[in-house]
Structure 1
C-alpha cells in the first residue's frame, strides 16, 4: 500500500498526479511497494547553479521528489537542505504548497557561494537523527560540481554508512566535465575498506535535466536503493521490520 493515496494527491497537489503515477510504477518495478522511507532533498545553491533556478529546473526536481516521497512517506513533506559554501537553509516542501516553493525559499537566501558537500551532509544527518525516525532515509543530493573539500565529503559519507541512510547523488551539467570525477569516486568507494556498506549512488542528468523522462529519473533514483536496503539489513544497520 502506498503511503499517500492517489485521491489525497489529487486533492492536495493535482499538478503532481502524473509524477505520482510515474513514481509509483518505478517503486513497483524495484520491488519497493509498501516500503517506508524518509525522503530528503539536498540542492546546490552555488553560483553556477543560477540558471537552473531561473529556468525552473530545481523546482521541477523538487516536484519529482515530492511525487516519489508520497509513495514512501506519509506526511506529504520533504525536508530540503540548500547548500553552497555553508548550509544556506534547512526547510521543507509540501504537497499542498509545492507550486513556486523553491522560488519562495530562494528569495530569502543570501549570496550564492561555492560548493561544500560535507556541511549539507551533516545537516541532513542531524535532521534525521533529531526526527527519531525508525525508517531508513533516501537522500536525493543534487549538485553541479565537485566539492571544495573532497576529503571532508568522503569522510562524512564513510561515517554515514553506519546509519540507515542512502545517498543518491545527481549531477547537473556537462557530462564530460571532470567536476563529476569525485562523485564517481564516491560511488565506487571500496567496501569494507572505506565504509561498512555501499551507501551511495551517482548518475548524471545532463546539462538539461528536464529532458530526462520522469520514468528514467525515478528508475535512476531507486536503482541502487533496494540493494542497499538488503545489505544494510543484513548488517543490522536497519531496524528489524
Structure 2
C-alpha cells in the first residue's frame, strides 16, 4: 500500500491539489509520512446542523478529509456516515466522485433528528469490521453539540478502546458553549481506569469552521493520532 501521488490527484481531482499538498505538510510535521490508515467521516444531521449543510461547510470538511485520505489510504475512498437519532445513511466519496456529494446525499436522507453519537460510532465499527481492513482507522467525527445520551456515548467509546480506531471529534459552533463540555470530558477519560488507551481527541472549529485555515484544521485533525498509534502498538491493539 502506498499513498496516492500528486500526479494522480492532479489528474483525477485538480481542485483538491492544494488541500492535498497542505495535508502532506501536516502529516510530515507529525511524523506520519508512510503511515497507512483507513479514514472515515461521520457527519451530524441533527436539526441544528441545517445551516452548515446549506452553506457548503460540510462539503468543505469532506474535501479536507478526502485530502488526508489520499495520503493515508491507497484508494482514497472515504466512507461517510450520516447520523442523527439513528444512522441516516452510509455513503462514500472518492477523488473521482466528491464534488457536491455531501449536500446531495444529505437531501436524500430526509428528516433530521437528534444527536445519538453511539449510532454513528456503531455504523463505523460495522463498516470497518466488514471491510476486513488490516490498517488502523482515523475516524473524523463532526458534531455541533453533545449527545442525547451521554452514558451511551461514553460507554461505547470505552468499549471501543480495544479496537484499532482513533476518534477525532470536531465541534462546530461556539467553542465556549456548554454543549462541548461533554466532549472535553470524553477526551480526558482516565487511562487505564476507564479505557486501555486514549482513543479520542477533540477540538472546536468555531462558528464558521470553513474559515479555519486548512493548515490549522489538518494540524488539529492529526495532532493526537501519532500518540494513539504508539499507545495502541504498546497495548498490542496494533501490530
Moved more, 205-214 or 2-11: 2-11
State the partner residue of 1:102.
102
SS in 2 for 1:231: helix
Aligned: 1:13 with 2:18: no
State the partner residue of 2:137.
137
Q: For the residues of structure 2 that align with 1:76 and 1:192, how far apart are their CA atoms?
A: 34
**Structure 1: any 5+ residue segments left out of the alignment?**
none
Shift, 1:2, TM fit: 5.4
SS in 2 for 1:107: helix
Q: Is the 8 A contact 1:2 1:33 kept in 2?
A: no
User: Where in structure 2 are the equivalents of 1:21-36 lying within 5 Å?
Assistant: 21-36=21-36
Deviations 1:39-78 (Å, cap 9, x if unpaired)? 0000000110000000000000000000000000011210
State the partner residue of 2:85.
85
State the partner residue of 2:222.
222
Shift, 1:99, TM fit: 0.7
Q: For the residues of structure 1 that align with 2:236 and 2:185, how far apart are their CA atoms?
A: 26
Q: How many residues align?
A: 239
State the partner residue of 2:63.
63
Instruction: Output the TM-score relative to the length of structure 1.
Output: 0.98
Q: For the residues of structure 2 that align with 1:184 and 1:73, how far apart are their CA atoms?
A: 29
Q: For the residues of structure 1 that align with 2:114 and 2:207, how far apart are their CA atoms?
A: 19
Deviations 1:12-50 (Å, cap 9, x if unpaired)? 110000000000000000001010000000000011000
Runs of 4+ in 1 over 6 A off after TM superposition: none
CA-based RMSD of the aligned residues comes to 0.9
Q: For the residues of structure 1 that align with 2:94 and 2:103, how far apart are their CA atoms?
A: 14
Q: For the residues of structure 1 that align with 2:232 and 2:107, how far apart are their CA atoms?
A: 39
**Structure 2: any 5+ residue segments left out of the alignment?**
none
Aligned: 1:43 with 2:43: yes
SS in 2 for 1:189: coil
Deviations 1:122-143 (Å, cap 9, x if unpaired)? 0001111111111000000000
